[in-house]
Amino acid sequence: MKKILSVCVCLVFVSVAVSAKPLDKFNDVMNSAGSNFQAKRYLEHLSKDMGKVMTSGNYGVSANLGLGSLDIGINFHTTSVSNEIMKAEGTDRLYMPMLKASLGLLCGFDVMAKYGYFYGSNLYGIGLRYDVYDSSILFIPSITVQGMYSILNVSSGSNKVNNNNIALGAIATFPIPFVTPYIGIGWDRTNTTAKSSIYDGMSKATDKMSYGFGIAVSVLILNGSLGITYNDGIPNYSFGFNLGF
């Protein structure tokens, strides 16, 4: 099973590595803005889409792991985008593979970490999850709350953009054997800062609400999952495999 997971990691990371870079027109579009107001609008629209990317996969089957328990996996996320900078490059959908891990701590807490590969750049995230209610009864969900902080500093040639995101959410997981559904809702804020173009140093923060749902299928320690997250009414998709120990 570990070999299967390793092969999946290689395939999805290579698939993004060979794709065109969606921010190659950042400097061109920003430099074409006729005013600070217009440049700020471009940055705002980019920030909203980068927020979708950075919170991809935040929802999932979620319950307290227990002290010392470890859960690791690979997810593949697709995100629809509509900002002017990526449209100029001909991009309306992004793809990102992500490694995720959770470790059980004391008193119902888990520490979470994630790493995503974004067209030559790296996403890093770390967070905490707390088990509010742990259910073992069918159709009565376990409830967890979580917070995650992520950074994604993009460098594509001379085009450079820094992004950071803080996301808060709550997830209900239904303890049905073998096939486990979940639903989640959350709020997040993304701050995007231009690090190139004539507007170097300009930044814009955007907020959004999101909700999602999905299902996981478990066979021994191997789990497969499918999830959908809605941002501004637009669905984004996640597929994943993980191992629990």
- Note the pLDDT tens digit of each residue in 176-210: 888 889 999 999 999 999 999 999 999 999 999 99
Nearest Cα residue to 193 out of 60, 72, 80, 40: 40
CB of 13 within 8 A of CB of 122?
Answer: no
Tokens of 228: 């959908």
**For all residues of the chain together, what is the average pLDDT?**
88
- Poorest-pLDDT segment among 5-14, 22-31, 33-42, 104-113: 5-14
Residue-level pLDDT at 38: 98
Residue 3 is given by DSSP the state: H
Q: Looking at the DSSP assignment, which residues form a beta bridge with residue 6?
A: none
Tokens 């099973």, residue located:
1
Q: Looking at the DSSP assignment, which residues form a beta bridge with residue 17?
A: none
Residue-level pLDDT at 242: 75
245 — pLDDT class (breaks 50, 70, 90): low
Residue-level pLDDT at 58: 86
42-62 mean pLDDT = 91
Between CA 16 and CA 165 the distance in angstroms is: 22
pTM for the model stands at 0.87
CB of 128 within 8 A of CB of 147?
Answer: yes
CB of 125 within 8 A of CB of 113?
Answer: yes
Q: What is the pLDDT of residues 115-173, one digit of tens each?
A: 999 999 999 999 999 999 988 888 899 999 999 999 999 999 999 999 999 999 999 99
Residue-level pLDDT at 20: 65
